[in-house]
Amino acid sequence: MKTQVAIIGSGPSGLLLGQLLHTQGIDNVIIEQRSQDYVLGRIRAGVLEQGMVNLLREAGASERMDREGDVHEGVFLAFNGKKVRVDLAGLTGGDTVMVYGQTEVTKDLMDARAKAGLTTIYEADNVQPHDFYTDSPSVTFTKDGEAITLECDYIAGCDGFHGISRKSVPQDKLKTFERVYPFGWLGVLSDTPPVSDELIYAKHERGFALCSMRSATRSRYYVQVPQDEHVEDWSDDRFWDELKKRLPPETATKLVTGPSIEKSIAPLRSFVAEPMKFGNLFLVGDAAHIVPPTGAKGLNLAASDVSTLYRALTATYQEGRADLLEKYSEVCLRRIWKAERFSWWMTSMLHRFGDDDFDQRIAQAELDYVTGSEAGLKTIAENYVGLPYEPLE
């Protein structure tokens, strides 16, 4: 088998990259170790920055998002029994975010890919990139017991945090940075109307809580739980009781509860791998970096990596500008570290880290300061809507 760009992983990174390259006539094949249904069954975040919205439009996969997605002009921060609105649009000169689930983005990209007749190989075993320091890299895998070699010009490692791409690069050329937080988020999806039209990020002495949504009839809520908590110990009733305790009273009384349709615990982690280019192998999205979900940046960072790689590959194939690929790592990492900082900061300010009273007062004072200052609110707003994409030159 032969293609121009071999893409490992059919999460949002791989699918978006594949679709964008296709619009420029650049051939690509996706190799995914799981089934299509498994990939679509994962419930993830749902807040898209304008940059990602634009890319989905450019990829020709935005029709349903433009119809069903919900544009949000603000978010709330709740603490001490009150809510403060961050007027995203007002504070940024009109920027907004789009609330549209990652699962839906993935489905739309898969549909667009099928319509374009592009090849995706699901349930591929033993996926392995090779020879990426040469001009003839390849990806090998087995499918239904048959060993297959995919020859290519470039490999995009879009295979997430646990993928094979980052593990396959020379480890002495890789530097990683990591912070693991001593708690996780217990999330519940339910077919109930959202408690608020806009997201609420709540700080409480019992821990953080988040009210989010997927549509006018489907809600997504989270509460901070200790790292070693088991989801089986959380009945729906226990979850709703805990959530209500952490919200301002006027919000808690409005909360409509119902049976959960999904319930899971996700650990919180900050992680960056440097560099993101190893010869002709590029790490993209979660394969290179993880943020805690508090700033809704995971999916959006994946999109900005994709944008940078897509533009560099297009310039390479169409104008012979392979020099732009050399800038991939540095351009991506500048934006990644700013989003890492924002996600870490929001996490630090809004969660309960332990029993140290001093730390708790400091975090409280910080939130009080930031929400009481125009400059503070602006800092949150401009990071939340997404920092600009840096051009390659």
Active site residues: 72, 201, 293, 297, 384
Q: Which of 224, 260, 280, 294 binds ligand PHB (CB under 6 A)?
A: 294
* Closest distance to ligand PHB from the beta carbon of 155 (Å): 30
Q: Which amino acid is at 10?
A: S
Site string for ligand PHB, 193-232 (x = CB under 6 A): ------x----------x-x-------x------------
Q: Can you tell me the distance from the alpha carbon of 319 to that of 323, in angstroms, rounded to the nearest whole number? A: 11
Q: With DSSP H G I counted as helix, E B as strand and the rest as coil, what are the percentages for the chain, rounded to 5?
A: 40, 30, 30
Strands 281-283 and 154-157, sheet pairing: parallel
* Closest distance to ligand APR from the beta carbon of 160 (Å): 3
295 contributes a contact to ligand APR by CB under 6 A: no
Q: What 3-state DSSP class applies to 13?
A: helix
Q: What 3-state DSSP class applies to 383?
A: helix
Please, which residue, 13 or 50, has the CB nearer to ligand APR?
13
* Closest distance to ligand APR from the beta carbon of 303 (Å): 8
Residue nearest to ligand PHB (CB): 212
DSSP code at position 74: -
* Closest distance to ligand APR from the beta carbon of 158 (Å): 5
Site string for ligand APR, 36-65 (x = CB under 6 A): ---x----xx--------------------
Please, which residue, 346 or 363, has the CB nearer to ligand APR?
346
User: Which partner, ligand PHB, ligand APR, none, binds residue 158 by CB below 5 to 8 Å per kind?
Assistant: ligand APR
153 contributes a contact to ligand APR by CB under 6 A: no
User: Which partner, ligand APR, ligand PHB, none, binds residue 280 by CB below 5 to 8 Å per kind?
Assistant: none
* Interface size with ligand PHB, residues (CB under 6 A): 10
Length of the chain: 393
296 contributes a contact to ligand APR by CB under 6 A: no
Q: Is the peptide bond before 259 cis (omega within 30 degrees of 0)?
A: no
Contacts 24+ apart (CB under 8 A), 207-212: 207/183, 207/246, 207/351, 207/352, 208/246, 208/294, 208/350, 208/351, 208/352, 209/242, 209/243, 209/246, 209/247, 210/185, 211/247, 211/251, 212/46, 212/47, 212/99
Going by C-alpha positions, the residue among 19, 97, 10 that lies closest to residue 61 is 19
Residue 131 phi/psi, 5-degree rounding, is 50, 35
Q: Which of 29, 45, 121, 283 binds ligand PHB (CB under 6 A)?
A: 45
Identify whether the C-beta of residue 308 lies closer than 8 Å to the C-beta of residue 389: yes
Residues found near ligand APR in the complex (CB under 6 A) = 8-14, 31-34, 39, 44-45, 102, 127, 158-160, 162-164, 285-286, 298-299, 302
